[in-house]
């Protein structure tokens, strides 16, 4: 049966394979028998096989690599437990839910029309800019319920486990506990494979999960959705490095399904969907936005500097201090976002300000605690006897302050107030209401009962000065993710961003206008020839290997080769840029050249990435 796992003998070895199709004759003159059918369960759906072929071509990869991402490893015990005979032959299918009311979607003029289209079995495509304080999981559950009411299936991808738990709870409340499955690598092999088989057999109409679910089989797919598509967790780190957003949009195109791309911020890629007419934007009226938005103020504008001249250099200006104090007095929690984790992740000589580097590997030194010894962030060696190579000084000062040090400082500043931290070591899902300080790194901000009375965005320079094409976009995404947790201004909610109010990302935050900033970013990238206005591929490896691959590649007319630029170690990176219309030709040429090197058994590997998140 097509879709089953098989073993075939290739070059004298047994290798894994898939049975894609059975035909009476073949054009190939010499054929060999299949050595073994590993399992009779057809785990590879025809539509997923077709999708995998398209994704492999788009990302200059191989079909086998994509199928490795699409189908989880076999779990024999689960296959024996979960078989088609387990379902009763007379089991009646569950009745589809009735078409849901628009509920929170009424805050968006185009929201009710989106739900009606899904409930009618049509395939709307939308880019949704969520309001502050929005229960996005409930809105997605409503959209999924409308799709299921039309007798179709839905697939929703989120960035991490916390978002998955919120969406799971929202769908359970809306559809019940037996109408969807969760797919995530964190589930473990057995639970993940059991959920995958339930989706493959059509036992449930809805699949949700992290990027591991972007290839999940869904019967009669009617909606694909992704939340916060700018999160880098949506980018697959294994070859051929597909992005969940692009895979889902490709599925929508192939299956003629609806698509929903949502978030508090908006990426340039999502804006391109709107500007080309592929999708329609779903945004709130300004009156509703003003009623839902907290009071957002910067600390670097002229009026604030006139009142507090030290605000330009202070890490916690008086405006932020006052906002936190007033919120705590009102028995409301305060969220403080700090871009760096740890205690003092970067230190320098206290006498000459020279950055402190490891004597062994030249990596940056950091202090793990107030009484700890400096240690290298690269090789982890302790530099207890560190002396500055420039002046001989032995005293160190902070260059960058981390979340743990910030929690320590604010705990002393507000004695008696409970202080919680949320970051890499422990990520909090939620915190109770009432006075308290929450120090969190971006993406680890917990939800507070009733919302935060104040949100302080510190060390904004660390996000804005990153050497990255997406620095401004990423800064705005992280700020809006934290600011959305604050109470509305009418309820006393305030957001203080320690940055100059004239900066474009700060302006977008003040007006809560992610669409304006995304359109600005896209226009600049068109002018400079950067993605998504153009398509690019990075070729990374040793200089000789990179040059060899590019010499073999028959790039399309109009292709530009940029570089080289240094990569890690002795490797270098070359960039290939083409118009969007020639993207398929570029990917095909690079894939063919990589195949030629593989056939020649070239020893030095080369990494190919189409549309990488980081270009430099």
DSSP 182: E
Decide the pairing of beta strands 436-440 and 333-337.
Answer: parallel
Question: Is 379 marked within a binding site?
Answer: yes
139: enclosing H helix or E strand = helix 136-149
Torsion sign, CA atoms 190, 191, 193, 198 = positive
**Distance of alpha carbon 72 from alpha carbon 510, whole angstroms:** 44
DSSP type of residue 27: S
Residue count (the chain): 616
Give exposure, 168-205, as e/b (b: 16+ Cβ within 10 Å). bebbeebbeeebbbbbbeebeeebbbbbbbbbbbebbb
Selection from 124, 123, 121, 128 nearest residue 105 by Cα:
128
- Report how far residue 595's alpha carbon sits from residue 330's, in angstroms, rounded to the nearest whole number: 65
- C-alpha distances in Å from residue 290, one per residue of 286, 490, 499: 6, 10, 22
Does 182 count as an annotated binding residue? no
Query: Tokens standing for 421?
Result: 């931290």
Contacts of 261 (CB under 8 A, 6+ apart): 126, 127, 128, 225, 226, 229, 245, 249, 270, 273, 279
What CA–CA distance (Å, rounded) separates 472 from 504? 8
- Distances 309 to 19, 241, 301, 339, 462 between C-alpha atoms, Å: 71, 48, 11, 24, 22
Query: Kind of pairing, strands 375-376 and 365-366?
Result: antiparallel
Q: Is 354 left (phi over 0), alpha (psi -120 to 50) or beta?
A: beta
Q: What is d(CA 7, CA 33) in angstroms, rounded to the nearest whole number? A: 10
Neighbours of 42 (CB within 10 A): 16
Among 569, 542, 553, 614, residue whose Cα is nearest residue 60: 553
Query: The tokens of 431 are what?
Result: 């915190």
Q: Which residue, chain included where needed, has tokens 């037996």?
A: 178
The answer to whether 349 is a known ligand-binding residue is yes
b/e per residue, 94-110, with b = 16+ CB within 10 A? eebeebbebebbebbee
**Any known ligand binding at 388?**
yes
User: What residue numbers does the annotated binding site for Zn(2+) cover?
Assistant: 349, 352, 358, 361, 376, 379, 388, 391
Annotated binding site: 349, 352, 358, 361, 376, 379, 388, 391
């Amino acid at each position: 049966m097509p879709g089953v796992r098989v073993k075939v003998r290739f070059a004298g070895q047994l290798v894994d394979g898939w049975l894609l199709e059975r035909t009476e004759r073949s054009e190939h003159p010499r054929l060999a028998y299949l050595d073994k059918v590993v399992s009779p369960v057809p785990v590879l759906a025809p539509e997923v096989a077709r999708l995998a072929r398209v994704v492999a071509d788009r990302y200059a990869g191989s079909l086998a690599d994509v199928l490795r991402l699409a189908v989880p490893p076999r779990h024999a015990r689960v296959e024996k437990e979960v078989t088609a005979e387990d379902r009763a032959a007379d089991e009646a299918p569950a009745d589809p839910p009735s078409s849901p009311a628009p509920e929170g979607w009424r805050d968006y003029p185009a929201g009710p029309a989106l739900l009606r289209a899904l409930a009618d079995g049509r395939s709307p495509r939308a880019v949704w800019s969520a309001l502050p304080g929005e229960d996005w999981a409930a809105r997605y559950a409503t959209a999924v319920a409308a799709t299921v009411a039309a007798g179709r299936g839905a697939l929703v991808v989120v960035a991490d486990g916390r978002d998955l738990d919120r969406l799971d709870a929202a769908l359970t409340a809306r559809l019940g506990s037996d109408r969807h499955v969760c797919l995530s690598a964190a589930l473990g092999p057995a639970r993940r494979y059991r959920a995958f088989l339930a989706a493959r057999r059509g036992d449930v109409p809805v699949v949700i999960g992290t990027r591991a679910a972007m290839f999940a089989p869904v019967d009669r797919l009617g909606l694909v959705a992704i939340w916060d598509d700018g999160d880098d967790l949506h980018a697959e780190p294994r070859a051929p490095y597909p992005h969940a957003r692009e895979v889902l949009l490709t599925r929508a195109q192939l299956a003629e399904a609806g698509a929903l791309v949502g978030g508090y911020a908006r990426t340039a890629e999502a804006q391109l969907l709107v500007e080309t007419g592929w999708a329609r934007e779903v945004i709130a009226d300004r009156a509703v936005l003003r009623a839902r938005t907290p009071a957002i103020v910067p600390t670097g504008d002229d009026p604030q500097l006139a009142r507090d001249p030290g605000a330009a250099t202070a890490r916690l200006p008086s405006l932020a201090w006052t906002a936190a104090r007033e919120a705590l007095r009102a028995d409301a929690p305060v969220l403080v976002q700090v871009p760096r984790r740890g205690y003092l992740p970067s230190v320098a000589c206290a006498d000459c300000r020279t950055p402190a580097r490891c004597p062994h590997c030249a990596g940056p030194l950091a202090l793990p605690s107030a009484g700890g010894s400096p240690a290298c962030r690269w090789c982890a060696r302790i530099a207890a006897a560190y002396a500055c190579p420039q002046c001989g000084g032995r005293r160190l000062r902070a260059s960058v302050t981390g979340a743990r040090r910030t929690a320590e400082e604010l705990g002393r500043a507000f004695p008696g107030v409970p202080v919680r931290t949320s970051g890499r070591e422990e990520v909090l899902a939620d915190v109770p209401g009432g006075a308290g300080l929450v120090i969190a790194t971006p993406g680890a901000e917990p939800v507070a009962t009733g919302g935060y009375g104040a949100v302080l965005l510190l060390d904004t320079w660390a996000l804005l000065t990153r050497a990255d094409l997406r620095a401004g976009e990423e800064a705005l995404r992280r700020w809006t993710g934290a600011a959305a947790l604050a109470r509305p201004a009418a309820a006393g909610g305030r957001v203080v961003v320690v940055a100059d109010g004239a900066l474009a990302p700060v302006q977008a935050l003040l007006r809560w206008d992610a669409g304006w900033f995304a359109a600005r970013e896209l226009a600049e990238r068109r002018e400079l020839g950067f993605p998504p206005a153009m398509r690019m591929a990075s070729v990374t490896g040793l200089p000789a290997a990179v040059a060899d691959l590019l010499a073999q590649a028959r790039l399309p007319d109009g292709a530009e080769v940029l570089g080289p630029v240094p990569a890690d170690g002795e490797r270098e990176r070359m960039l290939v840029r083409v118009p969007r219309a020639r993207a398929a030709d570029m990917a095909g040429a690079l894939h063919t050249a990589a195949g030629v090197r593989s056939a020649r058994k070239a020893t030095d590997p080369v990494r190919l990435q189409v549309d990488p998140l980081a270009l430099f």
